[in-house]
A and B are shown apart, each in its own frame.
Chain A
Amino acid sequence: MVLESKNSWHNVDTIWLSNGKTNSMGRIEFKCQFVNKKELCYEEN
């Protein structure tokens, strides 16, 4: 899927959640944002 790089959630899919006792539909949310290489180096240092 193609998503915009932003600091907010994208609804990407739904799944069926079950732990053997309770069941529910689950909404899958995904967030992705560009990270600047320099910022990454700064975080690692």
Chain B
Amino acid sequence: MKSLWAMCTLCMVSVAYLWAINDDTFTEEKQQIVPTTQDDCGCSPQPQIETCVTGCAAIPDTTPALTKKDFLRNLHLFANEPLSSKSLALETLLFYGEVTQNWLPETSVLDKEHLQFLQRELQKTHVEIQLRVVDEKGIVRIELEPTVVKIGDKYHQHVHKTQEIQSLEISGTIKRVGLYHLWSRF
């Protein structure tokens, strides 16, 4: 009788244990929100869901807008400077290329030389990017063929040209930060 009672107790404990395990198993996985730190691209701290694939391309652009007052101040500075890559005013106007392009016709502070130079530079609205990963033997294992992306827009590319490695995706943003320089994050 005692052994029968012990068997029943053991069965009840086992059933309770299995129920507890199943309860945990079928509980929906909760997404954990963790704060991220300020990014070097000027992006604000954003919540990141750990189960998602995110990157800088998924973070909203929080670059401060150029005011009309700052635009005119930089334009006047540029008008009185030699045409050089060391001009912060020129580089600011190029960084805000689309805004500069829109507001430039309203002003007439530039001489012909400065105006033609700035307009020519503002035509550079896109960038051709290429990426490859080369292993220790010098073999190109991953290759993103020449791809044109718009400056300031977020891009997302699937890379299928791979050798003995799975295909992958890259995403990022390109910004103009100078007469000859680009900022990139991917």
Contact = CB atoms under 8 A, between A and B. Distances in A.
Contact of A15 (B125, B129, B133): B133
Interface stretch (B2-10, B25-33, B63-71, B173-181): B173-181
B134 A29 contact: yes
**Secondary structure of the B contact surface, majority rule:** strand
Contacts of A4: 180-182
Size category, B interface: 20 to 34
B174 A40 contact: no
- 10 tightest A-B CB contacts, nearest first: A34-B124, A35-B126, A31-B130, A24-B135, A26-B133, A37-B123, A27-B134, A37-B125, A24-B136, A33-B128
Given A17-B141, A29-B133, 10 more contacts: A2-B177, A17-B165, A26-B133, A26-B141, A27-B135, A28-B132, A29-B131, A32-B128, A33-B127, A34-B127
20 contacts: A1-B185, A2-B182, A17-B135, A19-B164, A19-B166, A25-B136, A27-B133, A28-B131, A28-B132, A29-B131, A30-B184, A31-B129, A31-B130, A32-B129, A32-B174, A33-B128, A34-B127, A34-B182, A35-B127, A40-B148
